[in-house]
Structure 1
Amino acid sequence: MRLRIWILLGFLSLILVCLAGFEFRYAWFQSNWFSEYANRLHYQLGDGQSDAIHFPDAGPFNERLGYSKLPQFQAGLDRHGFEVTRQARFSDDLLQYAGHGLFLPYEEKTHAGLKITDAHGELIYTYDYPRFRFNAFTDIPPLLIEALLFIENRHLLDPSLPRANPAVDWPRLVGASMSLVTGSLGGDGPSHGASTLATQMEKYRHSLEGRTHSPTDKLRQMASAAVRAYMHGPETMQVRQQLVRDYLNTVPLAAAPGHGEVHGMGDALWVWFAADIDDFTADLNGERGIEAQAVALRQALSLVIAQRRPSWYLLGGRDELRELVDSHLRLLHNHQRIDGELARVALASDVSYRDWQQDPLLEPATVDKTAWVTRNQLVSLLGQSTYDLDRLDLQVQSTLDVELQRAVGSFLEALADELSASEAGLLGERLLSPQQASQVRYSFTLMERTPTGHQVRVQTDTTGLPFDLNSGSKLELGSTAKLRVLTSYLEIIAELHGQLAGADDDTRRNARDRRGDPLTLWALEYLRLNPEATLAQMLDAALQRRYSASPYEQFFTGSGVQRFSNFRKEDDRRIVTVQQALQESINLPYVRLLRDVIRYSLHQSVDDATSLLTNDRDPRRQAYLQTFADREGRVFLQRFWRRYEGMDEQQRFARLLRQVQPIAARLSVVYRELHPEADFDSFRDFLVENVRVPQSPERIERLYRTYAPGSFNLNDQGYIAKVHPLELWLLGYLRQHPQATLSDVLSASAAERQEVYKWLFRSRHASARNTRIRIMLEREAFNALHARWQRVGYPFPHLVPSLGTALGSSGDRPSALAELMGIIINDGKRTGVRRLTSLHFAADTPWETRFEPEPLQEEQVLAPEVAAALRQALSAVVDDGTGRRLQGVFTAANGEPLVIGGKTGTGDNRIHTVTRTGAVVATEVMNRTATFVFFIGENHFGTLTAFVPGEDAGAFHFTSALPAQVLKSMAPVLAPHINQEPGGMLAQGGP
């Protein structure tokens, strides 16, 4: 009985062994099970954000293509007004599968990269990575396949095993297991890995850092590779061939300067050996003789072997790599994989590595401004470098019109040629000389009003740099600031109409008390005389208010007295309307208009501002003066900090002495304050060495006692030394706290900042107090004005608190001016500016996600009547003002002239060094600009700026007539886009 049991057990064991052997070889059962299971792991694309998706963990492939970063991207895009409109949904089985940490089965991309198209789907930019690859299995040289499989996976393409599992090579797995056991028991002998090509790809693509960190990682790689292999059915020959191709196209092979990470044999051939993949294929196939074939074989073996330590073999282990290649050539010959003649020639050959100094790797860099503009926007949106951005699996649609953008760019670039500039009418008085044409840079923005928001159609410049002059600069754009002043002025008139039209007697009486507020008083008088006036009528009357253009008045503004001048001397004696001053761009009326706007803001923010300015007993003055002392003290301390930054104690003291006259009393107070521990001998030696006039011993002794530490307060010390007291305090503080930061200095100096301004609070200095309070109130009024400007798109965090802001001293940005013009033609409604209409990540993958901008919310930031008044005023600039050369240039599709409006501005930006009397002793030229911000018809608007940077700008005298003339000459380029109507014909622009 017992014998029968043993015989039965033995028979069953034999059957099991046979079944196992059959399964290990032919994979019959596992192929059916895996394929059936893989069939349940699917996903589909659906509308809106998915509630059934699992993003991959950080693996090199997932990070590079952006799959693992998608949650991060989604959070950032959400902050910028984008929403998920389409996203993949996992099946329940796939969601569970991903939850176990396995790598999802899908057709992975061996190459991908950024692709940008324009509003019409035309290609703007594409980056395909890796650059060089085998497109099909049949493109791969058979000798390369033979070498790869001999080294890595010998039975992978065995045709007798149609269902083989490429994730497991059983002989290799058993051998690796035995080596592991032997090694754990202290034995010696060769060791090797159990990885197949399939598991290697799972590792370097999806495992953390592309490494196997534990047995669990290895099992995850094998299981994922097995499921992936059977996702198209139980037979795997085609999958295994694709594995070979994908491995050769994606295997990581180090990194190189000028190129970055190297993936795939194609890129590696180029980076390592400066070899083209097509030439390599021809050589390895023997099409160019045995010598070329031998070199190509060595190159192939070098890269196949190097994948284990690519950086070492590329940079420091080339001799070791050569020996390994020689060894594998002999093995290939011994196993009859290559013939003897090829082996002999290959062993006698060598490879030539690329010399990165003599033949540097430079990725092809686009100089197309269209691509730069969009890529820079994506860098800002996604928080990625341009290097990482290019390698994302991402398709982007821009609002740009690439054909129009490139036509405009080519037109502007051509203006650097003297003949082209002459044909465009750019040579002449207040324009350019023939020699200057090539030095001017142009910046152009064109936007279109659409039902879904304002869309940028053209955004380009001729700087030749990735920097975007339109939206990345801060320039003084001259009289374009008058448009912002006029906008705020008319906005205030609209406010006053709302407050005072039909108001009761108390409201009108309170308004009359604003004696220093000319705009409120004018509104009261106008509504008294015209009680039934509509807002539109009152705005029209406000445009006809008159101001003097006299330059002979001095203005206390910006913490001092300033003078302003007109561009044309013949305007100096004129008294013109606000409308005329805008049309002819006369400066002084707008300086005075801004002063009235500031006075209105002051009386809005401060009750009874007149009393605060003139009544020295007003209790509010104390707080204003304390605030002034604190702010002014901070300004001085920051200036002194910059002066001494980076110096040690001795260097700071030496720097201070250079500005102190060598008079005994002055040097004494400085030395005693900054060296309180110094004895008399040290003090005497210091005076003897530094005082111009020798001092008697008695005098030196008296000075030592008189200026002992604590004898004088900080103000008195500064007065005696003729040095700002806060500068003395700063050097003393840094002596005690050498590691202090500017923040530490400002925190520690609060009391001292108040102390040095105590003189302000003395009764005999009432006029000085009035001046400081005026400065503080002006700053507050400019803060209120800044809030108005920000509502209509002003891009910077503060304004210069000076009436010079009316003439551009606060700076502006061309794209921001264009946004203001968009508000004006949109009836006072501010809507977002669209530059991108979609971002499509990971197409045809389980993480496919499409982002589109959320519906734009319009905000009424100006009354419609104000916007209409501004359009009328800007049209007059073209009809009978500084933009008159554009009259009739653009026509509608039916031939009717389009309404054109705009504002010109010229910025001659210089830094002047002046004496106390105002005499200019030195001038540094910064740049010269001329800008025209415009609208054309009902839907198009933008800016055109001419710009000359640096000292060379001093030789230029062009005005805003230059950009106006450029726009006129550009009309034939713009007309097909501007005049296009749905279903209509295209009309040509004017001359």
Structure 2
Amino acid sequence: MDGFEAGRPEPETRPQSATARRRRGGWRRLLRWGIRIVVVIGLVLAAGLWFEMRYSPLQAHYLSRYADRLQFRLAEGASENIHFPREGPFDKRLGYAYLPLFLQRALERGYAIDRQAVLSPELVDFTDQGYYPPYPEKTQAGLSIRDCAWQPLWRRAYPGEAYARFEDVPPLVAQALTFIEDRHLLDVQRREINPAVDWPRLFSAAWSQLEEALGWGDSAVGGSTLATQIEKFRHSPDGLTSSFKEKWRQMASASVRAYQHGQDTLNARRDLLRDYLNTVPLSAVPGHGEVHGLADGLRVWFGADFARVNQLLSGNGHSESALAARGLALRQVLALLVAQRRPSYYLAQGRVELNSLIDSHLRLLQRAGRIEPALRDAALAAPLEFRDWASDPIQTAISNDKGTNLVRRHLASLLNVPLYSLDRLDLDVDSSLDAELQREVSAYLDGLREPEAAKAAGLLGHSLLQEDQLQGVRYSFTLYERLPDRFAVRVQTDSTRQAFDLSENSKLELGSTAKLRVVATYLEVIAELHGRYSGLPARILREIEVQPADRLTRWVLSYLAEHPQADLSSLLQAAMQRRYSASPHERFLTGGGIHRFSNFQRKDDLRVASVAEAMRDSLNLPFVRLMRDIVNYSIYQSVPRRAELLGDDDDPRREDYLRRFVDKEGQSFLRRFWDKYRDKDESKRIDTLLEGLAARPARLGAVFRYLYPQADAAALAEFLRQRGVDELPSQQDIEALHARYRPDAYALPDRAYIARVHPLDLWLLAELIRQPNVEFSELLAASTEVRQEVYGWLFRSRHKQARDNRIRIMLEVEAFLDIHQRWQKLGYPFGHLVPSLATALGSSGDRPAALAELVGIILNDGIRLPTVRISELRFADGTPYHTELKRVPAAGQQVMAPEVAAVLREALNQVVERGTARRLKGSFADAASEDWRLGGKTGTGDNRIESVDASGRVIESRARNRTATFVFYLGDRYFGTLTAFVLGENADDYRFTSALPVQALKGMQPILQPRLTHGCAQIPP
């Protein structure tokens, strides 16, 4: 029983086991189906992923829709959401990264933003995340300048040559590039693929990066495509992939850019290939700078012609010579395509390795069926010869047009960039220049070297030129138009064919043109006095105390007392009739010495001319005396008790003036001596100091012991021998000489007196020997006490007259400071005037452009307007950084009373009607044949270099140049200058006067008249 029971199953055991089995079977079926489903899903996903990786339909769909929302538009005024790039070689070269700085400088200098790009919210978000915005990027860009009629004036495309279309790329070049970089780039069967990602290449690169990180491999393989490479060398910092984040940024930006025009990327891929060839960076070379693109690379590195290379690689010639030429062209192209990986290495010191890589690629290209065996062999045999920049230097196109170069220089100054960088900016500029008129005037001036043209223009004759002198004369011409808010430069040119611009960069003695500034200052003073005293009763006017030498104040008081109702215009007209003697027989104490002046023609010496007549006939002596009156007026305005200052030896101001005189005089001499020594070595400096001095042992000993205080007697003996002492002293005498002039034996003024040299000359030379590289500013600072020591006699002298003369000199200096301020207000370009009455005759120098501006002020009723060469700037046209700037209209500054300007216009008109420019009378007329009102001022300058000895005497005078200038106005809108000049010592052979530029302007009338009548853009065909 027990055994039977033990063998029986429990009542519930069998049913439970069946249920369990059923359950286990169900789970197994579910698991099997689940595995099947997962496998199917996996296969579907894998297939889908493979399909996406191969054909990119999802990327095409979503990225194209996303890219379509990344838009920008142009809107009026400044944009509130524009986003400028910060890094990237492309963005820097084209100026996009520097636009915030450019705009700030332009806004500070009178420009305003007229239109600017406004970004969509999606594009703002995209760029805020650090991605590079998609837009049609330019493979060629550079500075473009248009004239006032929107005609091209300057265009610098960079790179210089490029493929305009994909179809222009020779198939052989395209095949070579895609074989090296991306063999599926131009696959026409896959229209929607993303060219930014080559998945097999990316996975291989990722694995090699991991191997390198784990130390399993030597170097990582790159995963870049042409699209990401372009993003890298255009927009990544320094053109490098510095991190995985930067690589992702490149890939994402390139992907969005590829779909910006829709899902079909074939055209985008073709453009990628073209753009890569046009912009790939290929290092840099001397004389050219950075090299970008295949065209520039071929020219710069191999001296090859881009068009010829393309012609060869597009052809299929099989002759021996044709194959050799095609083989060399292919080798040169491959050299650049291979070298782009490390261009600075492969194109310089790695050329042997580069040639080996080229040979390998040639064989691979042939095996892949991309080139024929014959072409492979020809390319293998072709020698890769690099350009020799010494024997074949790179020629950079330079504009010889002065107006264009002036616009470029002003633009470079406005943006604070060098010309090299300026020409590479993506910038369009509208200038005020008239290109057609500029060319015609330039051709006319150049043609005046030829006898026939000079004769036709009437330039041969007395006070003009002889036929054999024509080649030596150069001309500079500037023409402005007066507009409501600016003085617009229409022509600025010269015939020098050099970069230097005489009109705007020179400092020349322009002779009697300075008389215009003197008369303007004179009339300003009269207007100033009218404003101060008009309306006062005659009794009070007669009681006002005036110093006898202040003749201008005395005359105005007298005139107003006799004509109490006189307005300013009447007073100014009367002032122009005041008379001055033209006698040259007076000596003038001015400029620190006694001077005599002469008139141009002796027949004028007996005249007593009015200011108007002196201006009309350009008399010298009346203007010297008029300037003296202006100087005295300025002195008595600043130091009203001048007579007491000179009369009272105890006046505390006397010592102050004497000390200022010492400081000024000492600085003047130091500057002169510095100029004498600064370009010489030590030996030549000593020769210069001792030049002209008798070689006496005492003088040489005094100099030597000061210059070389530590030298011994033997060195002194050698110095005496080298300096040509006829009879050398005995050894005993040399030792005595050495001891007598020891450093502490004499003060500097006494030692200099013994040597017969200026004390500051000796001191300066000693400092230059001690500190050969010292700057003048340092010497000036170190000489303060020395200068006071040198002139100590002034403070100890018992001769009051000597001190009075020095005070008079300082008072004159201060008067010219006041006159200089008046001149600067009217556009005088330099920082100081020579404190001498000779300034009335042009000794302080001037600049043709500055004189023209003064005439513009006169023509504009005393209102000074900005001189404008650049009216509009357009940065980054067609990009998300697009910004347009326009010149803000200026109200102008009233720097001269309108009544003064009217009187000056009349005075200038009389110079043409009856004076030194009368040959121009009637030359210009309007459409109705009515003569224009013309005016101007003539001037002749003889600029010389004078050498002086230690005492300041002129020992040599050599001609530096000769100038003749006519500053003019033509009608009521146009004004300018014409200067004729001769450079160098040959100027002594010329005797032309200001009649020459007047006659040259008259000969220019057929060129100028149509444009002046109709304006810049309205010339009839």
Distance 1:700 1:30, change over 3 A: closer
AA in 2 matched with 1:892: D
Q: For residues 681 and 382 of structure 1, what CA distance do their matches in structure 2 show? A: 61
> Residues 382-781 of structure 1: matches in 2 within 5 Å?
382-503=415-536, 508=541, 511-643=544-676, 645=678, 666=699, 669-670=702-703, 709-730=743-764, 741-781=775-815
Return the match for 1:165 from 170, 177, 194: 194
Instruction: Please state whether the residue corresponding to 1:927 is helix, strand or coil.
Output: strand
Matched, 1:92 2:121: yes
CA–CA distance in structure 2, aligned partners of residues 649 and 919 of structure 1: 24
1:322 is paired with a residue whose SS is helix
Judge which range, 939-948 or 139-148, deviates more. Answer: 139-148
- In 2 relative to 1, CA 229–666 (structure 1 residues): closer, same or farther, beyond 3 Å? same
Write the distance in 2 (CA, Å) between the matches of 1:437 and 1:378: 35
Give the Cα–Cα distance (whole angstroms) in 1 for the partners of residues 767 and 99 of structure 2: 50
Partner deviation per Cα, 1:750-769 (whole Å, 9 max, x = no partner): 22322222211235221111
Counterpart CA distance in 2 for 1:134 and 1:981 is 40
For 2:16, the equivalent position in structure 1 comes to none
1:58 deviates by 2.8
Deviates more, 1:778-787 or 1:313-322: 313-322
Deviates more, 1:375-384 or 1:936-945: 375-384
What is the alpha-carbon distance in structure 2 between the residues aligned to residue 521 and residue 326 of structure 1?
96
When residues 348 and 715 of structure 1 are mapped into structure 2, their CA distance, relative to the original with a 3 A threshold, is closer
Tell me which residue corresponds to 2:79: 50
Residue 956 of structure 1: aligned partner? 990
The Cα shift of 1:71 comes to 1.7
Partner of 1:819: 853
* Counterpart for residue 270 of structure 1: 299
Alignment check: 8 A CA contact 1:282 1:288 kept: no
- Residues 708 and 947 (structure 1), Cα distance of their counterparts in 2 relative to 1, 3 Å cut: closer
* Paired letter, 1:568: Q
Distance in 2 of aligned mates of 1:617 and 1:217: 81
**Change over 3 Å in CA distance of 1:682–1:205 after alignment to 2:** closer
- Give the drift of 1:86: 1.3
Larger radius of gyration: 2
**Cα RMSD after superposing both structures:** 3.1
TM-score by length of 2: 0.91
Letter in 2 for 1:207: S
Deviations 1:156-214 (A, max 9, x none): 22233222111110000111112222223333467431000000101111112222222
Aligned ranges for residues 245-256 of structure 1 at < 5 Å? 245-256=274-285
CA distance in 1, matches of 2:718, 2:387: 67
How far apart are residue 714 of structure 1 and its match? 3.6
Counterpart AA for 1:615: D
Structure 1 residue 909 displacement after superposition: 1.9
The one-character-per-residue Cα deviations of 1:768-808 (angstroms, maximum 9, x if unpaired) are 11111111111111111111111111111111111111111
Contact 1:42 1:90 in 2 (8 A): yes
Distance 2:728 2:487 in 1: 76
Q: Which residue of 2 aligns with 1:808?
A: 842
CA distance in 2, matches of 1:981, 1:299: 53
Alpha-carbon distance between aligned partners in 2 of 1:362 and 1:186, rounded to the nearest angstrom:
50
Structure 1 residue 876 displacement after superposition: 0.8
**CA contact 2:926–2:932 (8 Å) conserved in 1:** yes
CA gap 1:865/1:310 in 2 versus in 1, 3 angstroms = same
Q: 1:134 to 1:524 in 2, by over 3 A?
A: same
- Aligned counterpart, 2:223: 194
Tell me how far apart the structure 1 counterparts of residues 939 and 235 of structure 2 sit (CA, whole Å).
Answer: 57
* Counterpart in the other structure of 2:973: 939
Q: Select the residue among 41, 54, 70 that pairs with 1:41.
A: 70
- Residue 928 of structure 1 pairs with residue 962 of structure 2: yes
Return closer, same or farther for 1:247/1:729 CA change in 2, 3 Å cut-off.
closer
Number of the residue aligned with 1:284 = 313
Between the aligned partners of 1:914 and 1:718, the Cα distance in structure 2 is 17
Aligned-pair distance for 1:148?
1.1
> Could you say which residue in structure 2 is the equivalent of 1:865?
899
Does 1:74 find its partner at 2:74?
Answer: no
In the alignment, is the contact (CA less than 8 A) between 1:137 and 1:245 conserved in 2? yes
Give the superposition deviation at 1:940.
1.1
Offset, 1:49: 2.2
Equivalent position amino acid for 1:869 in 2: V
179-188 or 634-643, which deviates more: 634-643
In structure 2, the residue matched to 1:115 is 144
Deviation of the 1:280 alpha carbon: 2.8
Tell me how far apart the structure 2 counterparts of residues 893 and 250 of structure 1 sit (CA, whole Å). 54
Q: Is the 8 A contact 2:1011 2:1019 kept in 1?
A: no
Structure 1 distance, partners of 2:288, 2:677, is 43
Q: Are 2:243 and 1:214 aligned? A: yes
How much does 1:569 deviate? 0.7
Name the CA shift for 1:235/1:585 in 2 (closer, same or farther; >3 Å).
same
Q: Structure 1 326/773 Cα, relative in aligned 2: closer, same or farther at 3 Å?
A: same
Decide whether aligned partners of structure 1 residues 884 and 344 sit closer, same or farther in structure 2, where only a CA change above 3 A counts: closer
Aligned to 2:14: none
Residue identity opposite 1:457 in structure 2: R
**Runs of 5+ in structure 2 lacking a partner?**
1-26
Equivalent residue of 1:204, what SS? Answer: helix
Displacement, 1:675?
5.8
The one-letter code matched in structure 1 to 2:125 is Q
Cα deviation for residue 734 of structure 1 reads: 6.2
> For residues 192 and 915 of structure 1, what CA distance do their matches in structure 2 show?
76
Distance in 2 between the 1:407 and 1:870 partners?
31
Give the conservation status (yes or no) of the 8 Å contact 1:878–1:901: yes
Q: Secondary structure at the match of 2:74?
A: strand
**Alpha-carbon contact 2:1010-2:1019 (below 8 Å) kept:** no
DSSP 3-state at the match of 1:471: helix
User: Matched residues in 1 for 2:683 and 2:420: separation?
Assistant: 46
Q: Which moved more, 1:277-286 or 1:393-402?
A: 277-286
Identity %: 51
Q: Deviations over 1:855-878 (max 9, x none)?
A: 113111111110000011111111
The 10-residue stretch of structure 1 (218-227 or 477-486) with the greater mean CA deviation from structure 2 = 218-227
Within the candidate set 121, 126, 135, 2:164 is matched to 135
TM-score normalised by the chain length of structure 1: 0.93
Separation in structure 2 between the aligned mates of residue 910 and residue 589 of structure 1, nearest angstrom:
24
The Cα of 1:336 is off from its aligned counterpart by: 2.7
User: In structure 2, which of residues 933, 938, 943 is the aligned counterpart of residue 904 of structure 1?
Assistant: 938
Number of residue pairs matched by the alignment: 987
**Which has the larger displacement, 59-68 or 273-282?**
273-282
Q: 1:776 to 1:983 in 2, by over 3 A?
A: closer
1:290-301 to 2 correspondences below 5 Å = 291=323, 292-301=325-334
SS at match of 1:850: strand
The Cα shift of 1:516 comes to 1.8
Shift of 1:141: 2.1
Most deviating of 568-577 and 231-240: 231-240
For residues 649 and 523 of structure 1, do their structure 2 counterparts lie closer, same or farther at Cα, with a shift above 3 Å needed? Answer: same
Secondary structure at the residue paired with 1:68?
helix
**Structure 1 residues 507 and 143 mapped into 2: Cα distance closer, same or farther (>3 Å)?**
farther
**Corresponding position of 1:313:** 346
In the TM superposition, residue 493 of structure 1 has moved relative to its aligned partner by 0.6
Consecutive unaligned residues in structure 1, runs of 5 or more: none
In the alignment, which residue of structure 2 is the partner of 1:891?
925
Q: Per-residue CA shift, 1:359-378, capped at 9, x if unaligned? A: 44323333334433322332
2 CA distance for matches of 1:706 and 1:439?
A: 58
